[in-house]
Amino acid sequence: MMTISKALPSFFAYAEGQTSYCLRDVVLPQDLPLLVQWMHQAHIIPQWQLNKSELELAVYFERMHCDDHQHLYIIQIDDQDVGYLEIYEAKRDRLGLYYAAKQDDLGWHVLLSEAAVGQGHFRAVMRMLSFLIFEHSQAEKVVGEPDQTMSVYEKIREDIALEAQGIIELQEKTAMLYHCFREKFYKKCGHFYQDFKAKSHV
C-alpha cells in the first residue's frame, strides 16, 4: 500500500530568481557520510541531538528510510547537496498526540548545513517544501514544530504563510506549533510557483 508520504515524488525541482533548488530522495548507504557530517555540525547538534557515531546513525537512517509514514530528501541548491528534509504524516506521527491532526496533514523537519546557512535561501527552501506537498498531495495544511528558540521562523513566517498555533511541550523540547494552510499559502506565495513554471516552459 502506497502511503501519503511515500507517494510524494522522488525528485522535485523549483527555482526563485537565478537560483535553482530541488529535493531528491535520500539514497542509502551513499548519502550516509553526508548525513553524518551534517549531524555533527555545531549549529545542528542542539536542535537534532543526533551527533552520534556513524554506526548509530546508519541504523537510525535505515529505520527512518523504511518507515512508511515519512519521506526523506536531500535538499540541493544549484546542484549542491546542502541539507536534509523529512516529510511525515502528522496523524501517524507522535505530533498527532499534541494537536487534532487530520489524515492528510503533512509535517516537516528541515536541516540546512553550514554551506547554506546565512546565504538567504531559507525562505525559498521552505516555500519549496510547501509547494512539493500541496502540488503532490491532498493536504490542506502543512505543519511544523521547531524548537521555540529557533527565532528564524518568527522572522520569516509571514513570507511563507506560517501561522503560530501556540507552544507544545514535547519530550525533548519546548516547541512552537506552526500551520501553513493551502489556500492562504497560495494566496501569499503562489506567484513564486507560477513564475517558476512559466520560466521552466520557455
List the domain boundaries for the chain.
Answer: 11-200
Q: Where are the alpha helices (DSSP H) in the chain?
A: 32-39, 45-48, 54-66, 122-135, 152-156, 182-200
List, for residues 153-187, the tens digit of each pLDDT value: 999 999 999 999 999 999 889 999 999 999 999 99
Give me the percent of the chain exceeding a pLDDT of 70: 98
pLDDT of residue 39: 97
- The confidence band for 202, taking pLDDT boundaries of 50, 70 and 90, is low
Give the Cα separation of 106 and 130 in Å (integer): 9
pLDDT of residue 80: 95
**Mean pLDDT in residue range 93-115:** 94
Locate 9 and state its grid cell. 515524488
Architecture in CATH for domain 11-200: 3-Layer(aba) Sandwich (3.40)
